[in-house]
Structures are given as C-alpha cells and as structure tokens.
Chain A
Amino acid sequence: MQVRNMATLGGGLCLGIPWIDTAPALVALEASVLLQSAQGYQRRMEVKDFFRGRGKTALKTDELLLGFKIPPLPLGTESVYLKYSPRGTFEWPMVGVAVLLTCDPRTLICETARIVIGAWGPRPFRARKAEALLVGSRIHQGMISEAAERTSADFVRTAGTRSDWYLQEMIRVWGKRAITEVCARLSLLEGAS
C-alpha cells in the first residue's frame, strides 16, 4: 500500500503533463531547470522549453532533474495562479492561468506582463499579444477584458486544432479573473471603474 504525503516540484514536472498546476506558474516566473546526465554533463533549460507534447519532456533517459533556478522578482511585482476544472476538486485543471505583472511603483505603468495558460494542449504557452497590450500602460478594467479576449485568441492560434468553444471561453473568463486579481493586489484598480 502506497501512502504518500509529499511530492516534489521537479517530480511533478517530469510527468510531462503540460497542464500540471505548477507548469504555468514556473513559466510565468521564467524559471529554468537544471539537468544532469549520468556522464556528469549539466545543462540548463527554460521550463517553457521543457515540455515536448503530452507525456514527453526534454529530459533524456540518462538525465536527472537537479533543481530550478528562478530569477529574482523586481519590486512592484505580483503574481497569481488560478485553476479551473468542471469538477471542483481532485482534478487536473481544464484551464490553469498564471499571471505575473510588474508595475513601476510611482507611475503604476506596467513594465512586465506574463500571462501563461496551462490548458488541454501540448504545452503551457504565453499569451504574447495579451501581454503586449498591457506593457507600457496604466492598466484599467476595459484593458483587462481586452487582454482576456486576446489570451483566448492567442490560445486558439497556438494550440491550432482546438476549436472547443467552452475551453476558449474558460481561458477568457479565468484569464480575466487572474489579471484582475493581480491588478487588485497591485492596487491598480482603486478609484477606477
């Protein structure tokens, strides 16, 4: 009988399941993995490149995942990961959204935006067009809705064949909820409507 009460970040990632909860968060943090082969060679790779389709990773058969490197976050950064699955609990996410925003503390202008979707698809991906919309601006409510629309459109383009309207809709809804949550933490929405 197997009774487990601990797991590791790396072990989860090596399953190669692209929608695993930790993947979008690590991609949003621009984390990289440190891999070591049996011969002693080491290499580093960004988490976003680690996934190679369902159940597959860049890990070679003679390699071990040693650890992660997460770059330090500048002042004025907040992030969140939100997960949605039709069954509320004990379930892989249908959609997992990680959002990380950095704003200039004085001007409240958005300097960095990373929106990462982990969903039923081959790998976690960044919604670049949505990110581009937010960078360089003072974010407001209307912009969040627009960014969420773009996130969903980005997904359809990236994932290619997926035409499931419900999945697209959930990416939009949860994208919006995640961006809103980060903006609230950065106090960007106060006084605005």
Chain B
Amino acid sequence: MSESLYVGKSLLRVDALAKALGTAQFTADLFPGKKGMLYVKVLRSPYAHARIVRCDTSKVEKYPGVKLVLTGEGVPEKFTWRVPPLLAHHESRWAGEGIAAIAADSPQQAEEALELIEVEYEELPAVLDAEEAMEPECRITVDPDWGKAPGGKPKTPERPNVTGHYKLRKGNVKEGFARADVIVENRFSTCRIHHCQLEPIACVAQPEEGGGLTLWTNGQGVYSVREEIGYILSLSPAQVRVISPYQGGSFGNRNRIFIEPLIAFIALKTGRPARINFTREEMYIASVSRLPIVSYIKTGVQKDGIITAQEMRIILDNGATYDAIQDGRAAASAAVCVYRIPNYYLDSYGVNTHTPPSGPYRGLGSTQVAWAVESQMNLLAEKLGMSPVEIRRKNILKRGEKNAFGETIESIGVGECLEAVALAMGKDLPPPSDGERWRRGKGLAIAGKQNQYLGRGEAEVLVYEDGNLEARFSSDEHGMGAETVMAQIVAEEFRTSPERIRIVRGDTALTPFNVKSASSYTTYCTGNAMRRASRDAIRQILEAAARRFETNPGDLEVANGKVFVKGSPQAAMRISDLFPNPSPNASQDHGIFKGGGKIVGRGIFSPRPNVPWDPETGQTEKMFNWYQYNAFGVEVEVDAETGQVRIVKAVGAFDMGFPINPKMCEAQIEGGLGMAIGATLLEEYVYERGRMINGSFGDYRVPTFGEVPLRRNVECLLAPDPLPDGPWGAKGIGEGAMVSIGPAIANAIQDAIGIRFKDMPLSPVRILQAIKARSNRGEEGAAGK
C-alpha cells in the first residue's frame, strides 16, 4: 500500500470550528421558544424504598398551564432490561425514581405544579449494601419482577437480589497456591460516582402527521433509542424517527435512555411537541451512575515473581435497576486480559440494591476491577522485594497466547506501554516550589479494557454529480471525534481532501444502521464499514470509468476527485464527468439538469461473533472482540498534615491499535486523566438513608483544570499493536483512557507516605485518618519517607 495521506495524521477535527464558535447545535439548543412546546418535569421519590399509598394529582390538573399529569397508572407498563418502568407503580425502589410527571406550557409552571402533587408514602425497609443484598438470607428484595423484562434473565430464588453470576474456572487453584512462595489477600472497593458529562439529559419529541413522531435526543444510538421507544410504546420502526444532534458528552451515561419513552408518550398523547432538560441533581439520582464494585482478591506468586494462582470475588452494585452488566463478566475481564494466570477461580455477581441505578461508565467496570488487580500487583512486588515494573513485566500475556477466558490474544501492546512509561517516569521533576510539606511519590499501573460485541455497523458513502462526497453513518458524536475519523477514512480511500466530504450522521430516516457508539467501538466497527462503503463507491466509479477508458476497472484508480489509469494521473477524467448527460427532454439551455443521480456505496462490518462460554468454567474462544491496553505513571505530592493529594506529573502510554488521528488519541489520554483524578481523589455519592444528599457541583466535587498536572508535565505516548481486522489496524481508545490511573495514584501515594489505600475515593479525610491512625500506633518513620 502506498503511504497514507489522511489516516494516521492529526487532522483538525471537522467540528472544531462550530464547537469553538458555539454554532454547533446540541439538543438543548433546539427549538427555543417554539410555539406549542410542552415542558416536562418529574416528581421523584425521596425514599430509598417505599410503598406509594396515595398519589393525588387533582390540585395540579387545574393549575394554570398544566396540560397533562401522569402517574405510574397512566403510562405504558412495558419495560426492558435497560429501561425501567417509565414511572413507579405502587412502589418506589430508589430515592430519585419518578412518581409522577407534569407537562405544562412553561418549565416554571411545570415546576410549580409539582409541589401540588400530594403523595403519601409508607417507608419500607431498604437494602443499601450490595454485599448484604447478595446473601441468600437477605429478606429485603429489590424489584423481583424486572428479570421478566425481554432480554433479562430472571433472578434465582436462592439469591433474590443477584442479577447474574459469572464463573471462571481454570487449572487447579489449590495446586497453584501450594506452589506459591508468597500469597497476598485483600479487599478493594470503589464507590458510586457519576459521569458528570457537560450536557445533562435532553430530548424533544414532536408528533408527526399519521401517528408517528420525531425525537431529538442526546441519548446514545439513534437506532437503539428507536427500538426501545418502539417496544415500550408499541410503535412500528416506521413511525419513530430519531435524530442525534451533537452530544455534550456521555461516557456511558446516555447508553440507558430512561426518559425518552416518557417524553415520546407525552407528545403522542397531547399531540404537542414535548421536551425535558434534566437538572444536575436529576442527573445524579435519575440517570445511571458508575457501579460501585467490591473485589476480593487472593494471589499467589513464586519468588521469581511468576503468578501461580489467583482467586477473585467481584461484587457489582447495580442499584435498583436491572442492567446489562448483570453478571460482572465485562468488569472481570480487567482481571483476565493483562496477565498470564495459569490457575484461576473467579466469581462475579451483579446485585440489586435500593440505590440509584448503576450502568455503563467509561470502562464498564474495568476501572474498578483494575483498581484491585493493580494495587495487588504492587503489594505482591513489595512482599517479594521486587520492582513494580519487573513483576508486571514477568506476567504480561504475549501475542498468540491464550488468556484465562481461553481467548487467543491477537493484539497486545501493554508490555511496550509499560516500558515507555517506566522510562518516562525515571526523569525527575524539580522540587516543589511551595515548601517542604509536600511529600513526593511515584507509581504506575497497567490495564486493559475489553471491546464488547455490539453487532454490526453500517455506513454509506454518496458521490454527488459534482464529485463531492457525503459520509452517512449512525454513530454518536459525544465528543470523541467520530465525524473526524470517518472523514479521514473516506478521504484516505478516495485520496481526496476531507474538506470535500460532508458528514450526515445520526438520523434514522437518513443514515444506515448502527447500534450505538459504546465500548470504544466506533473507529473499529463503523470505521471498517465506512472503509467498505468507500470501496463500494469507488468500485462503481471505476466500473463506469473503465467503459470510457476502454480498460479494466482494476487498471484504474481515483485521487483528488479524478479517475485515471494507474500511474498516469495526467490523463485523468473528473468523477463528475461520469454522471449521465442531461436528459434530452430537459431544458438544456439553462444547464440546470446537468448530471443527475448519485452513486451510493454501502458498507457493512460485523466482528466475528462471540462464542458462548461454558457456564461452569466460563471458558470460550471468543468472549470479546479485542482489548485496548495502556500504562499510566503518575507522580503525586501528599500534604501529610491535611491529607491533600496533588498530581504533579502524568505519563500515559496507549495501545489503541493504529491511531487514525494521533492528536485525538492524546486528547483522550488527557481527558481520561482528568476524569480519573476526580474519580480517584474527589468524587463520591453521599447518602442519608439511601438518599443522595450531595447532588450538585457545589457539594459533589469534580476536578477543574487546577487539579490536573500542568500540560508540560503530562506526556502522552502511543504504542500501537495493530489489530488484524481493524481499519488500518485500529482498535479504540476512549474507554481505556482512565482504567489504570486510579491504582497508579494509589501506588504513588504509598510511595510518598507509606500507606496503602484500598477504598476509593482517596479523599483528604480518609488519607489524614490513616496517617493519624498510623502515628497513634507509633509506626511513623518506619514506613514513611
């Protein structure tokens, strides 16, 4: 293949200017002040678990501007394993579940009317802790009916709150531990946090003539939204058109569309357009959050650092909804995809509790499990007196080897990532400028993140009569740069400037099928489809041109909007000249009917399907599509008098396969760093009897630019191991970007102050408590620097 022109280059994002200038349209920007618009507000339960004794809406119905009031009895009863009932029926299962909805002429009227709804609750006992909820003797059960949703597996009567259980059995763990010289056993935990994407949930539903509707939403995946609305409201796909404007971030939060079916229902019932914009507090309590995970881990190693056996028990708190991450298998993959573990015994459980719904969040559980695995690796290294780099180096899987799932690894660049980070972390920073109170430490970690099988992706490339191109696809653009990558792919295949390519994205009436952008899937799946669509269009061009050139299509090529015999660009014809001459009946004088028609290239890509795993051993030759890998090193400073931590340096190295746009890959690394700093050090849901009490940016702290290291102290390194079936070898990067950072920070804190933290977040309070506890035991100096 000749040298690439547009892929592998850091081209400017196609949406850069519109977003910088503020002209890019997001869902919340659409239809300002539109006549007839109804504004929807939802009344939410204040109790973690309660029976709804009485819900009286009679006062509301007469309130000025109110057009519709709905309770659980007045909405369709269908639900799916991803979308809980639209409003609570008789019982509220988490503090934040919708009890009633009001549609009014203005958001103020809807808000005011909410106060007039009289609800009488009978508070019921709630189970808030996943470890307690999963026990067979737990008497309090969470929504036992949800297993009946299509696509959901029913829960077992033995463990009424367990939504799923995945078992991995490999080799003989007993023998493995017998061979070990050192065995380390620990419990690690992470708390519930939120994605806090910039744009809260927004959607607008517009009823259409003939019974259907059009829905604009920042929910992920126009086809996925259409399917779920169609199922719940019993509508044909032909009646639901879903459009995806630019999305202000998602990070997995908008993978679950709790509110769209309700807004669609209101629009259909009233015959008027309806919209909702969530408040920030609603985002925390009424959209999905990140799964809290508890991991028990026991690892045996030989003196030479080789792992002989590992046992894990991973408990996922699904909150009160019945989610896709039912059995924790995806989360558990973080404990499988990096190291060679000959003897393995792993159980993962998904558990329901009366807490806000959990769901996908950048990493799909990998971050929480890597927190355990990568902290454990350092503790093992410490016991062995070995360097944290060396113990990792010795156990990393090699390409062609089988991991503990039984999958053969085709692409794994994690070893190169580790070496690159170790080297970069060797360089020292100048000492801190503000005094001696900061203690420094360095830490690193490595990790992998699976790519889920999400079915096929489709794409179309249209060639217009003037030779201009249009790329059509249905991925999301929640900031990751899908539009730019698709433009680069088409540009590369056509060997033409991306400026000649128009993007049409995310509209079920115009763009071809795609489930959604999730699991860092878009470049790989839609990218492959886009490449095939480009080639399909080029094939049609070459076939048409071959007749003119009186040669075989295989002898021709395209570049810069022209077709020519390979190697003879001087004798080229324009692609636009291939279009048929004007019809003899048309008004030739004006020339306005020149050309006509368009060439449509179509591409479909579907990864090799998964192979069902053995239910007793969890073994399969294909569990996931591939793994993206990374290593992260951080240098921290800890104020031992306040417990405050600041990150002063960070180095991230990534194997995302071939980087289609290296600059955007670096941006993912930088963004992942900021998000991980918040997740590790600051963020946490604080509850009072199951009700979140810190649901605002004032009380739930996310990092600012002040909390990430200075740009000159952040290094982004790319260490790609090309994937055989990725476009040009590309995999993906978005989700893996934060997986290894948490444990790297904990490892660095241990290096700085000699204390190991096993529970997130590493808040100043928690750190100072540990420092005080140690000095009370009189151990300071022994472990501290």
Is B106 in contact with chain A by the CB < 8 A criterion? no
Q: How far is the CA of A90 from the CA of B705 in the complex (A)?
A: 9
Q: How far is the CA of A84 from the CA of B639 in the complex (A)?
A: 12
Contact assessment for B706 and A90 in the assembled complex, using a CB-CB cutoff below 8 Å = yes
Is A88 in contact with chain B by the CB < 8 A criterion? yes
* Interfacial chain B residues near A88, Cβ < 8 Å: 644, 646, 706-707
* Interfacial chain A residues near B644, Cβ < 8 Å: 84, 86, 88
* Interfacial chain A residues near B763, Cβ < 8 Å: 86
Is A91 in contact with chain B by the CB < 8 A criterion? yes
Q: How far is the CA of A1 from the CA of B641 in the complex (A)?
A: 41
Contact assessment for B764 and A86 in the assembled complex, using a CB-CB cutoff below 8 Å = yes
Residue of B at shortest CB range from A91? B701
Q: Using an 8 Å CB-CB cutoff, how does the interface string of A81-121 with B read, 1 for contact, 0 for none?
A: 00010111111000000000000000000000000000000
Q: Using an 8 Å CB-CB cutoff, how does the interface string of A143-172 with B read, 1 for contact, 0 for none?
A: 000000000000000000000001001100
Contact assessment for B706 and A169 in the assembled complex, using a CB-CB cutoff below 8 Å = no
Q: How far is the CA of A156 from the CA of B377 in the complex (A)?
A: 43
Contact assessment for B642 and A84 in the assembled complex, using a CB-CB cutoff below 8 Å = yes
CB of A73, distance to nearest CB on chain B (Å): 27
CB of A152, distance to nearest CB on chain B (Å): 13
Per the CB 8 Å criterion, the residue count for chain A at the interface is: 11
Contact assessment for A87 and B682 in the assembled complex, using a CB-CB cutoff below 8 Å = yes
CB of B775, distance to nearest CB on chain A (Å): 13
Interface residues of B in 202-250 (CB under 8 A from A): none
Residue of A86, A88, A170, A173 with most partner-chain B CB within 10 A? A86
* Interfacial chain A residues near B705, Cβ < 8 Å: 89
Contact assessment for B646 and A86 in the assembled complex, using a CB-CB cutoff below 8 Å = no
Interface residues of A in 16-42 (CB under 8 A from B): none
CB of A6, distance to nearest CB on chain B (Å): 21
CB of A29, distance to nearest CB on chain B (Å): 25
* Interfacial chain B residues near A170, Cβ < 8 Å: 642
* Interfacial chain A residues near B701, Cβ < 8 Å: 86-87, 91
Q: How far is the CA of A84 from the CA of B768 in the complex (A)?
A: 14
Is B703 in contact with chain A by the CB < 8 A criterion? yes
Interface residues of B in 761-785 (CB under 8 A from A): 763-765, 768
Q: Using an 8 Å CB-CB cutoff, how does the interface string of B610-646 with A read, 1 for contact, 0 for none?
A: 0000000000000000000000000000000110101
Interface residues of B in 400-425 (CB under 8 A from A): none
Q: How far is the CA of A36 from the CA of B108 in the complex (A)?
A: 36
Contact assessment for A89 and B704 in the assembled complex, using a CB-CB cutoff below 8 Å = yes
Interface residues of B in 641-658 (CB under 8 A from A): 641-642, 644, 646
Say whether, besides A166-B764, A166-B765, A169-B768, A89 and B642 are in contact (CB < 8 Å).
Answer: no
Contact assessment for A87 and B704 in the assembled complex, using a CB-CB cutoff below 8 Å = yes
* Interfacial chain A residues near B768, Cβ < 8 Å: 166, 169
* Interfacial chain B residues near A90, Cβ < 8 Å: 704, 706
**B interface residue count range (under 10 / 10 to 19 / 20 to 34 / 35 or more):** 10 to 19
* Interfacial chain B residues near A169, Cβ < 8 Å: 768
Judged by DSSP, the binding face of A is loop
Q: How far is the CA of A87 from the CA of B704 in the complex (A)?
A: 9
CB of B488, distance to nearest CB on chain A (Å): 33
Contact assessment for B642 and A173 in the assembled complex, using a CB-CB cutoff below 8 Å = yes
CB of B464, distance to nearest CB on chain A (Å): 38
Q: How far is the CA of A86 from the CA of B642 in the complex (A)?
A: 9
Q: How far is the CA of A166 from the CA of B763 in the complex (A)?
A: 11
Q: How far is the CA of A166 from the CA of B768 in the complex (A)?
A: 8
Residue of B at shortest CB range from A164? B765
Residue of B at shortest CB range from A169? B768
Q: How far is the CA of A173 from the CA of B704 in the complex (A)?
A: 25
Residue of B642, B701, B703, B705 with most partner-chain A CB within 10 A? B642
Interface residues of B in 738-770 (CB under 8 A from A): 763-765, 768
Contact assessment for B641 and A173 in the assembled complex, using a CB-CB cutoff below 8 Å = yes
* Interfacial chain B residues near A89, Cβ < 8 Å: 704-707
Interface residues of B in 453-489 (CB under 8 A from A): none
CB of B646, distance to nearest CB on chain A (Å): 6
* Interfacial chain A residues near B641, Cβ < 8 Å: 173
Contact assessment for B642 and A87 in the assembled complex, using a CB-CB cutoff below 8 Å = no
Q: Using an 8 Å CB-CB cutoff, how does the interface string of B681-707 with A read, 1 for contact, 0 for none?
A: 010000000000000000001011111
Residue of A at shortest CB range from B763? A86
CB of A17, distance to nearest CB on chain B (Å): 11
* Interfacial chain B residues near A84, Cβ < 8 Å: 642, 644
CB of A25, distance to nearest CB on chain B (Å): 20
* Interfacial chain A residues near B642, Cβ < 8 Å: 84, 170, 173
CB of B747, distance to nearest CB on chain A (Å): 21
CB of B514, distance to nearest CB on chain A (Å): 35
Residue of A87, A89, A91, A166 with most partner-chain B CB within 10 A? A87
* Interfacial chain B residues near A91, Cβ < 8 Å: 701
* Interfacial chain A residues near B704, Cβ < 8 Å: 87, 89-90
Residue of A at shortest CB range from B707? A88
CB of A111, distance to nearest CB on chain B (Å): 29
Q: How far is the CA of A91 from the CA of B697 in the complex (A)?
A: 10
Residue of A at shortest CB range from B646? A88
* Interfacial chain A residues near B765, Cβ < 8 Å: 86, 166
Residue of B at shortest CB range from A172? B641
Residue of A at shortest CB range from B772? A169
CB of B505, distance to nearest CB on chain A (Å): 28
* Interfacial chain B residues near A86, Cβ < 8 Å: 644, 682, 701, 763-765
Q: How far is the CA of A188 from the CA of B543 in the complex (A)?
A: 91
* Interfacial chain A residues near B682, Cβ < 8 Å: 86-87
CB of A144, distance to nearest CB on chain B (Å): 14
Q: How far is the CA of A170 from the CA of B765 in the complex (A)?
A: 10
Residue of B682, B703, B763, B764 with most partner-chain A CB within 10 A? B764
CB of B753, distance to nearest CB on chain A (Å): 16
Q: How far is the CA of A86 from the CA of B762 in the complex (A)?
A: 11
Q: How far is the CA of A45 from the CA of B405 in the complex (A)?
A: 74
Q: Using an 8 Å CB-CB cutoff, how does the interface string of B701-718 with A read, 1 for contact, 0 for none?
A: 101111100000000000
Residue of A at shortest CB range from B435? A177
Q: How far is the CA of A89 from the CA of B705 in the complex (A)?
A: 8
Q: How far is the CA of A86 from the CA of B764 in the complex (A)?
A: 7
Q: How far is the CA of A95 from the CA of B320 in the complex (A)?
A: 38
Q: How far is the CA of A176 from the CA of B644 in the complex (A)?
A: 17
* Interfacial chain A residues near B703, Cβ < 8 Å: 87
Q: How far is the CA of A90 from the CA of B697 in the complex (A)?
A: 11
Residue of B at shortest CB range from A90? B704
Residue of B at shortest CB range from A173? B641
Q: How far is the CA of A60 from the CA of B657 in the complex (A)?
A: 66
CB of B706, distance to nearest CB on chain A (Å): 3
Q: How far is the CA of A169 from the CA of B639 in the complex (A)?
A: 13
Q: How far is the CA of A86 from the CA of B682 in the complex (A)?
A: 8
Residue of B at shortest CB range from A166? B765
Q: How far is the CA of A170 from the CA of B704 in the complex (A)?
A: 22
CB of A160, distance to nearest CB on chain B (Å): 21
CB of A84, distance to nearest CB on chain B (Å): 7
Residue of B682, B707, B765 with most partner-chain A CB within 10 A? B765
Q: How far is the CA of A169 from the CA of B767 in the complex (A)?
A: 13
Q: How far is the CA of A88 from the CA of B705 in the complex (A)?
A: 10
CB of A79, distance to nearest CB on chain B (Å): 19
Q: How far is the CA of A8 from the CA of B245 in the complex (A)?
A: 41
Residue of A at shortest CB range from B437? A177
CB of B678, distance to nearest CB on chain A (Å): 9
Q: How far is the CA of A87 from the CA of B705 in the complex (A)?
A: 11
Residue of B at shortest CB range from A86? B764
CB of B544, distance to nearest CB on chain A (Å): 52
- Closest 9 pairs between A and B when the two form their complex, measured CB to CB: A89-B706, A90-B704, A87-B701, A166-B765, A173-B641, A86-B764, A89-B704, A88-B706, A88-B707
A-B contact pairs, 17 of them (CB 8 A): A84-B642, A86-B644, A86-B682, A86-B701, A86-B763, A86-B765, A87-B701, A87-B703, A87-B704, A88-B646, A88-B707, A89-B705, A89-B706, A89-B707, A91-B701, A170-B642, A173-B641
* Extra contacts besides A89-B704, A91-B701 (6): CB < 8 Å: A84-B644, A86-B763, A87-B707, A89-B707, A90-B706, A166-B765
Give B contacts to A, CB under 8 Å.
641-642, 644, 646, 682, 701, 703-707, 763-765, 768
